[in-house]
Amino acid sequence: MFTDDPDGRFTPGAVFTLQVPDSSAWHNKTIELVELKWYNSHAVAFFKDVPDRSVAETLIKAILWVDHDLAEVPEEEDAWFDHQLLGLSVMRDGVKVGSVTAIDHFPAQDLLTVKTETGDVLVPFVKAIVSAVDVKAGTLTVTPPVGLFEELPDDEQPGAEKLVEYIEPSDDDEKPAT
């Protein structure tokens, strides 16, 4: 279940649009929630016109979409809906470096895809890098680490000799007994 508000979304009478294959009898239909129960920490939904298990099995893997007011703003501070972030201008030091084209949600953190003149850049959506989001102004401000949006010259990139230092044993070092 992918929602930040299951109790608010899954109330009796809530209507969902179904995403199913074109060949499904449920294609282009909506479904109305009658009741939501929790069994062993799993949500089990009961819907109008789905009287038994055999009918419910025809809905396996269906995706339920909720009609959403695009003007709605999350109640949580520093929370946005994906559609509010898509298309925002990405600003670095007051200069536009690209725009948000995709958002991926991963367990550790969300990842923004920023389209730049030189290609796509994947930006971790964390406060340390994304310092401000202003949906009304249409901007997302970043303070990225050096090298995230630009190629570093070879002399600034650590080479293998700097990362690993090989130490040859000297004659003074004791050798293990055999």
Question: What's the CATH code of the domain at 144?
Answer: 2.30.30.240
- In this prediction, residue 45 carries a pLDDT of 87
Q: Name all contacts of 41-49 with Cβ < 8 Å and 24+ positions apart.
A: 43/1, 43/6, 43/10, 45/10
Q: How many domains does the chain have?
A: 2
What pLDDT score does 76 carry?
75
Residue 17 in domain? yes
Query: Are residues 57 and 94 located together in one domain of the fold?
Result: no
- Are 97 and 143 part of one and the same domain? yes
Please tell me the distance from the alpha carbon of residue 92 to that of residue 23, in angstroms, as a whole number.
Answer: 48
Q: Which residue has the higher pLDDT, 72 or 165?
A: 72
pLDDT tens figures, 97-156: 999 999 998 888 999 999 999 999 999 999 999 999 999 899 999 999 888 888 777 665
For residues 17 and 32, the answer to whether their CB atoms sit within 8 Å is no
What Rg value do the Cα atoms of the chain yield, rounded? Answer: 26
178 belongs to a structural domain? no
- 145 lies in the same domain as 90: yes
| 128 domain residue, yes or no | yes
In a domain, 51, yes or no: yes
Distance between CA 159 and CA 178 in Å, rounded? 37
Q: List the beta strands (DSSP E) in the chain.
A: 15-19, 30-39, 42-47, 63-66, 89-92, 95-105, 110-116, 119-124, 130-134, 139-142
Domain co-membership, 145 together with 88: yes
Judge whether 157 lies within some domain. no
Stated pTM of the model: 0.58
- 1-37 pLDDT, tens digit per residue, is 567 677 778 889 999 888 889 999 899 899 999 998 8
Determine the structural domain holding residue 52 and report its residue range.
10-66
Is 39 domain-assigned? yes
Q: What is the pLDDT of residue 8?
A: 76
What band does 43 get if pLDDT is binned at 50, 70 and 90? confident
